[in-house]
Structure 1
């Protein structure tokens, strides 16, 4: 078996395991985790002060960040959500007051309007199936976020997941992978070693 095949098998195994565990979460547990995570995010000065934040709208059993997004909108910040475009890539679109979202690709709620200039975004909240201690992310396998964030070097990337989604096992690396600067869970705020010198002041 080639190294590439071994990496694919490892990722497939992990995706299946983590998806199954996420699907098994009951609604009260999801809600409690979402409330704890949003409180944690809002307590971080850099997040609290940010005026332009790109995030995601939770689908299925994904950990919701909606509470923090509504808080940011109430502060007068602009929140941008992803939309799959005609080229099968992610655009980030100003979501306004978060009340005009429509079902889009894969049934995920999306905003309408023009794509924004990514250079204005200060923080990206990025969902994932799993994250390792180095900040590497396991996504759905379609590489939407890896492609969208490939040229982003100015913004803080915060991977978001349940506590158990920060796994001990090192994820296999691909050339296109974009590591996170921080992993945020309901109980943890993990800064990977390679990012600590860059972002300690932003915690």
Structure 2
């Protein structure tokens, strides 16, 4: 998908990534804590038996505190395992020591693979992104992995992109394959977005 992306999408991605690279580490750490607090207080997350999440990359709002808090409260957490075709398989998170280096420098769980459809059984789906518009159209990094995964998620599932303040409600160039999310979690709030298409 990256080869055919419109110039506006590439430019937006470049600007957002540059802004993230300038973000101080202390702000990244504080954002991770605040986002975890918002999500852990959300009724959908509190009652979820299974949460599909991810291990954040450098510069992204951190997911470490959230993953550990979910696991500590007894929630089953599944994390993605990037496949050669950029699709996402899933495996259970068993703590930080269960993570190994995967493709493109991603940290992935080493446990048994659950299959690409495992995301469809999650009660809550948390995804990375660079921005989201008011309708819930998410701008990712351009590989299409999460758009494919989100296509397997039943309508009505709580789907949330984790972002910094200032990355929510901005225009996002839309392509036919883009999948929407229902919420955005930032350090300031949990923001409901437009209805899922």
TM-score (norm 1): 0.87
Looking at CA atoms only, which structure, 1 or 2, has the larger radius of gyration? 1
Q: How does 1:146-185 map to 2 (within 5 A)?
A: 146-154=147-155, 155-169=157-171, 171-185=172-186
Q: Which residue in 2 is equivalent to 1:52?
A: 50
Runs ≥4 residues deviating over 6 A: none
RMSD: 1.8
Q: How does 1:87-102 map to 2 (within 5 A)?
A: 87-102=85-100
Q: Which residue in 2 is equivalent to 1:32?
A: 30
Secondary structure of the structure 2 residue equivalent to 1:60: coil
How far, CA to CA, are the matches of 1:144 and 1:166 in structure 2? 21
Secondary structure of the structure 2 residue equivalent to 1:15: helix
How far, CA to CA, are the matches of 1:86 and 1:64 in structure 2? 25
How far, CA to CA, are the matches of 2:83 and 2:112 in structure 1? 11
- Shift in CA distance, 17/69, structure 1 to aligned 2, threshold 3 Å: same
How far, CA to CA, are the matches of 1:125 and 1:98 in structure 2? 18
Q: How does 1:1-150 map to 2 (within 5 A)?
A: 8-116=6-114, 117-150=118-151
- Of structures 1 and 2, the one scoring higher in RCO (CA 8 A, sep 6+) is 2
How far, CA to CA, are the matches of 1:88 and 1:37 in structure 2? 27
TM-score (norm 2): 0.90
